[in-house]
Structure 1
Amino acid sequence: MKDNASNSSLRQAKTAPVWQADAQQILPVLTKELVKLQYRQVSHLRIGVYAGDYQGLSRAMHSQFGPVLLKWQLSNHHCQQSAQAVSSGVFYEYGVITALSALTPYQRVAPPLLAHYELRLHIAAPLSALIVVVMPYYKNGSLSQYLKRPLPARRKHQLIMQAAQVITQLHRAGWLHNDIKPSNILLDDLSPPHFLSSQADDSSPKTDLLLTDFALATRVEASTIGHLAGTPAYLAPERWQGHGASVQSDIYAFGIMLYEILVGVRPLQIDKQSREPLKAWAVQHCQQPIPRLPPAYRHYQPIIDQALARRNKERYSNFRECLRDLKIAY
């Protein structure tokens, strides 16, 4: 998901006009291929270049699936191997979502995979590999959009609990998300609507929130030392210091989001005109004191203190501990 410039994910992206010109060639051919696959009302929401591959997000209607979101990746240098074997972008994310689809409905953490296609197309280059991953379109959008409206304290607590539950399920399945933030959490309007009900049971394992954007997800046991990737506003101090992702770095990102849900703004900010934004973010995360909540939310402060501890060993050891304290706090 895309945020403002100060909060953009740390991914290699080209913005030169050259690929914008290429897009004028790519999108009509892509639309034609999607129409062949029975998709209608195709609209392209986003296109960019990451690590030399074109990646995009499109929306369409399908006679069987209804409104859908299509994530796609077009590559010129993966044509000789299976798309499932490629460890980047949508190719990689498809593998993660496939693994997560094995979870039971009550453990579901990601949008269901409706379909996927691996095609070979002639666009500009002699032959390009295209992978398309199809998921439901959620009309209620992301948590980031939902937080723009006034919310009572009870609803905020429901959101916090359900976000913690879905991340707990992800960790239990053996995965780290590595880019937890409100714009990467969807409101599941396709399930029974107990989320919108004032009678919602916070202890229910059924969640109305789903995680999205698994391009940076890794196995819990995997090492990512030296690989700085994610959204700067949510990156744990140790990530800026060259250490790998961990359960505790996901907990730190959740702590930032917890503050954001309660107060309405992120606890750490940088000057948008900064000439060295990454350095400015590193200073914020590594040197600034743990933020204090307003009096109305001070009962959450011990959770903020432990989730945002500068040293990862001082944070919660797992999300179950965090959930335990959240249930007590409200």
Structure 2
Amino acid sequence: MANGLDDVVAAETVLSDVDGLGGRLTIRGHSLPDLAGRWKYAEVVHLLFDGFFDDLPDDKELANAIGRARSEVFERIEPLLPFLASLDIYSAMRAGIALLPDGDKLPDALRLVAAPAVLTPALLRLQRGESPIAPDSKADHAADMLRMLTGIVASPKLAKALDTYLVTVCDHGLNASTFATRVVASTQAGLTSVVLAGLGALKGPLHGGAPGPVIEMLDAIEAHGDAAGWLRDEIARGRRIMGFGHRIYRVRDPRADVLKVVVRQLGAKGETGHRLAFAESVEQAALEVLRIAKPSRSLQTNVEFFTALLLEAAGFPKEAFTNVFAAGRVAGWIAHAREQQTSGRLIRPQSRYIGPVPDLVA
């Protein structure tokens, strides 16, 4: 039996292909560099949903429909936001999404695409004593998410950076959360149930919870003053170096390169520029320390490293990083769910019993 289902093919999909040896990510026939920074998130949602919803409009109208869905979600959830804000930010978002109808039609899907982008800013504002801001249904998705967070219209450069991030993480093969969504979808459960399954898997620190600790690592190294020394001490203690290594990629994570370019485009001056320069020096130190300490393993920079820098520059606190990850990945979850429901079977693997056997009576 494959430990952790390594190398087990559990689904056939048209949605994405992760080439771990070549360091390439393909999303419905397009390489990640061809999509990120060139296609808007709503256009990629259209790409992922194409063929799975009979009433899917063109990509421009879909963007408008996502905007209307943001407003609908806010109107549905607004009375409960003060209660939800008493929870931690991720649990609050998940609880808010659980209140949405559990259907399997396009309007259900669009509400779920909209929900993390609406709930996360509203909850963050309430938790810091500010009033939530209603969506602007005519704004671009990422730009509106930033406006709802800060109360001001984001610069085009920052809005594009967040939009590129959402595109970059929209789908990534049969990762833990996507597999969880396909299992639930195979039972013919509704899309809200599907997304809640994905959110449950994404919460774990081995999956979606990694970018926050990257910020903690950078802060600790800056306070320590010796990146290589700090990193060697962590490895000696048996601790993981956050932002490096990946279950599938044996070379550099292509998403890391895309996001590194995006962070650089935010500016070489000011706090963001200082943070990037420092992070790049830590990255080089980490790659060298890991090469020497673990010569049998290829531990390259992964998506979490530059995710942390981008989301920090966008104004999100580290405890909300997984929420923003979910805001991008939800489209992939829904597409996989519809693919599973239309062409797959109930997922029911076998297990091998290795426990004690009762005595047999002759």
TM-score clears 0.5:
no
User: TM-score w.r.t. structure 1 length?
Assistant: 0.26
User: Which structure carries more strand by proportion?
Assistant: 1
User: Which structure carries more helix by proportion?
Assistant: 2
User: Greater relative contact order (Cα 8 A, min sep 6): structure 1 or 2?
Assistant: 2
User: TM-score w.r.t. structure 2 length?
Assistant: 0.24
